[in-house]
Structures are given as structure tokens and as C-alpha cells.
Amino acid sequence: MRGRTLAVVLVVMACFAFNSLATRLLVAQGWLDAAGVTIARFASGAGMLVALLAAQRRAREAAPRRADALAALLLGGYALAIAYGYLFITAAAGTFVFYALVVATMTAGGPRPSARAVAGALIALAGVALLALGRVEGTTPLGVALLAVTGATWGGYSLLLRRGGAPLAGNARAFVGVALLLPLLALVERERLVWTPHGLALALFMGAATTALAYALWARVLPELTPIQAGTFQLVVPVLTAAGGVAALGEPFGARLALAGALVLAGMALALPGARSASRSPGTRGA
């Protein structure tokens, strides 16, 4: 693998981890409410993706089509579940739940999985169960459930993009579809919206840079990676997020969370290569 490719991949993985940490920080500190995070992040993300296509004289490709309705619905579900979910779970625990459900969804919805892939998915889900049923500080059953929805919707969204081709345009159409519904979310949550200048700035940056640009970079570098490499690199994200949650946000990291994280990572290590070997497609995208 070329050094430039490795550098781009590591930057993208860091962006995915940053998104989880930033979302948790925004809602936990009250800098933005969950609806505000969703609105700012996905409006700016849509704007950035449309701008990227416009720079390539492909702006018309960003217009949503009827066939894109399911992709927009899944992306919207992901957007809401991750923002509201981090009100009830730490970044460290939440990212393990998220990636475990991504693996399970991709294993179930992708090509026929191997026994190794199924075993890996079950081990990863056992780690999630440990978080959901155990008493882990900063973790609630509702938080686990919402982050599970986040992972399942993102896994489904990734499956659609993988089958549809043209990842930049497909992402843009889905983001624009979500953005068109954001005024409705603002109307529903109008009496509970919380905005702060620094919170809004962080959410806009996350949407335009570590969401939209990171997805564009990931789509560009994927052809240079084998399916196993693409899946394995994403194992870095839960580790980075957990470490960042403990170091930057002061989140607790006890023995139960460590064991749950170990189960999730071990399960993903088994499931991802087994699931990818049945197909030549690049695999999932990150959060």
C-alpha cells in the first residue's frame, strides 16, 4: 500500500472517531440540543457535497430521485439516532454499540455470510448485550438501543450505496433528501432548540469537514484498498473514540466496558474479513 493511501485512510478514520466525540460533547455539554446537532451537521454536509459535485460540473446529480427515498430515510434515521442517543450513553460505549450493529447489519444484508462471519457478529453483539444489561457508568438501555438503531441504519445505508455505485453523488442525493426534511424537525422541536455560537460552529465544521469531506475522501481511496483492508481499518474507530472519550471528555472506563469493547473488537475482527471475502465490493463507510 502506498504511503499516501495509508495517510488518507488514517485521516478518514480519525474523522469518523471525531464525529462520535463531537456529537457526544455537543449534547452532553448542552452546547446544542440533539435536533440542533442534526440540523447543523446535515445541512452543512449537504451543502459541502453539492459544492463538490458543482466543482466537477455535476451539480444536477445531487437532486434527489424517488429511488433515493430509502437511502435518505436510512441516513435520516442514523442522523437522529446518533444525536439523541448520545444524550444517554458515553462516546466510548456508544461507538462499540454502533460498530457492532454495523457489522451485524452488513453480515445479514450482504452476500451469504460464512460461519466465521456469523460467529464474529454474535460475539460483537454479546459485547453490546453486556453494555445494555450491565451497570456501566454513563450507559443506559435507551442509549444502547438508540446507538443500535444508529449502527443498523448506517449499515443499511452503506449496503444501498455499495449496490448503487457513484458514491459521491449517492451520498449527496441522500444528504439533500435529509436536508429538505430538516425544517420539519426544526418546527417540531422549536420550543426545545438550544443554540450556542461555539456549539453551532463545531456542528457546522463536523458536517462540512469530518462528515462530508471525510466521506468523499473515503469514496476516493476505497478503490486502492482490498475489501479486507477497508473493513480492518475501520476497527481503529472504536478504539480511537473510546480513548478520546476517556482522555478528552473524562468519561469512565471500567472493567465491564473494557470487556465489552474487547468482545466487540474481537467479533468485528472475525466478521469483517469473512463477510468481505464473499464479495469484491469495498465494504461499509464510517460514521
pLDDT at 225: 64
Closest CA to 124 of 92, 99, 93, 107: 99
- Residue numbers of the chain with a pLDDT score lower than 50: 227-228, 274-285
Is residue 241 within 8 Å of residue 95, measured between CB atoms? yes
Give the 3-state secondary structure of residue 34.
helix
Is residue 203 within 8 Å of residue 36, measured between CB atoms? yes
pLDDT at 284: 47
pLDDT digits (tens, 9 = 90+) for 189-204: 999 899 999 999 999 9
Is residue 125 within 8 Å of residue 254, measured between CB atoms? no
112: amino acid identity, one letter: R
Alpha-carbon gap, residue 99 to 80, rounded angstroms: 17
The reported pTM is 0.81
Sign of torsion, CA 89 92 93 98?
Answer: positive
pLDDT at 58: 94
Alpha-carbon gap, residue 242 to 98, rounded angstroms: 12
pLDDT at 59: 94
pLDDT at 226: 55
pLDDT at 133: 65
pLDDT digits (tens, 9 = 90+) for 147-156: 999 989 988 8
pLDDT at 176: 96
Stated length of the chain:
287
pLDDT digits (tens, 9 = 90+) for 88-138: 998 878 888 887 887 778 777 766 767 887 787 788 778 777 776 666 677
